[in-house]
Amino acid sequence: MEKRVYRCFLDYEKEEAWVNDMAEQGWYLKRTMVGYFIFEKGEPGQYIYRNELVKGKKQDYYDFLETMNIEFVSKFGVWAYYRKKKSEGPFELFSDNPSKIKYLTSISRLFIAAILLNLLFGFINLYMGLGESTERFLNIGVSILNFVVVIIVCMQILKVARRKKGLQRELHIFEA
Amino acid sequence: MTQEHPPLTEGVYYILLALFDARHGYGIMQLVEEMSNGRVRLGAGTIYGAIKTLLERGWIEALDGDGRKKEYIITESGKKVIGYEILRLRELFDNGIRITKEDGTNG
């Protein structure tokens, strides 16, 4: 049995938590695209899921994960999902603060790129919308959409920055 | 004792120790968990990142073999680093025991 769900998450951690909630109920993620999830029915509570930003990751990384009994589930763009049998104990991709901080930094970079891109297109569309464009309302509409995205991603960046700062403060007194 | 690098993280210290015999990622994870009685559970992403950095530094090397389950082993310079680290840990340990004994907090 399959279940298809449309659901949009602004926060990648909340999305991961929701996917794990579904797994607890026996719905196992099979494929994902932005805002679209395909689940498969199974015995509840068998797997733990993790998502990861995998920009620049090569095949040898997935091979490595596979040797650690981590199953690759789905990848869309730069986001991947993995799962591991719950019976094998806790499953975290990163176990110490330096590697967690490094990961959060790469997420911030992606968010900043998204902001710059949306700002650029936002201003281009605004400029066209205020000018002689034949599609003035469409241009203005799209530019408003671009600016809304900028605000949402800014909020996510602040959240990531706060978490990173907390981890960095711990590094002042703890080795890892 | 002179040391040309900052203290190792617990994870890197244990990964280097685990590689005194050739091991792949999963073998490292299992041995470290075993040595620390389940206290240190290294994440796959953390081990992968550490292996990349240790290869770059020349503290470990990859053994030829089938690509999927690549095995790694510590190098001479890696062993030197571990030697320094053990001396540092001994200094920490000795001073800790000496001062807490004088104080009576450690029995």
Domain boundaries, chain A: 2-88, 97-175
Residue B24: pLDDT band by 50, 70, 90 thresholds? very high
- Of B47, B30, B86, B79, residue with least CA distance to A93: B47
Q: Is the ipTM of this complex over 0.85?
A: no
pLDDT at A96: 92
B54 neighbors B14 (Cβ within 8 angstroms):
no
E strand map for chain B: 60-62, 72-74
DSSP at A3: E
- Residue-averaged pLDDT of chain B: 91
Q: What is the mean pLDDT of residues A11-19?
A: 94
Encoded tokens for A135: 């599609």
CA distance B22 to B74: 8
| Torsion sign, CA atoms A119, A125, A128, A130 | negative
Helical H segments across B42-75, by residue range: 44-57
Encoded tokens for B31: 């041995």
pLDDT at B107: 53
CA distance B61 to B52: 10
Q: What is the mean pLDDT of residues B17-45?
A: 95
Chain B residue closest in CA terms to A96: B46
Of the listed ranges A26-30, A53-57, A117-121, the one predicted with least confidence = A53-57
Chain A residue closest in CA terms to B45: A93
pLDDT one-digit tens code per residue, A113-130: 999 999 999 999 999 988
- Whether residue B61 is predicted with pLDDT greater than 60 in this model: the reply is yes
pLDDT one-digit tens code per residue, A124-166: 999 998 888 788 889 999 999 999 999 999 999 999 999 999 9
Entry pTM: 0.86
Residue B105: pLDDT band by 50, 70, 90 thresholds? low
- Whether residue B79 is predicted with pLDDT greater than 90 in this model: the reply is yes
CA distance B54 to B50: 6
Quote the distance between the C-alpha of residue A82 and its chain's center. Answer: 13
d(CA A42, nearest CA chain B) in Å: 26
Q: What is the mean pLDDT of residues A71-85?
A: 95
pLDDT at B106: 58
Q: Which residues of chain B are at the A interface, by a Cβ-Cβ cutoff of 8 Å?
A: 7, 9-11, 24-26, 29, 40-50, 67-70
Q: What is the mean pLDDT of residues A48-63?
A: 92
pLDDT at B2: 54
Helix (H) or strand (E) holding A74: strand A71-76
Write out chain A residues lying below 8 Å of B68, CB-based: 63, 66-67
Write out chain B residues lying below 8 Å of A98, CB-based: 9
* Interface test mutation site (partner B, options A59, A62, A68, A104, max chain B beta carbons within 10 A): A68
Residue B71 identity (one-letter amino acid):
E
d(CA B44, nearest CA chain A) in Å: 5
Encoded tokens for B10: 């617990």
- Of B29, B31, B23, B9, residue with least CA distance to B73: B23
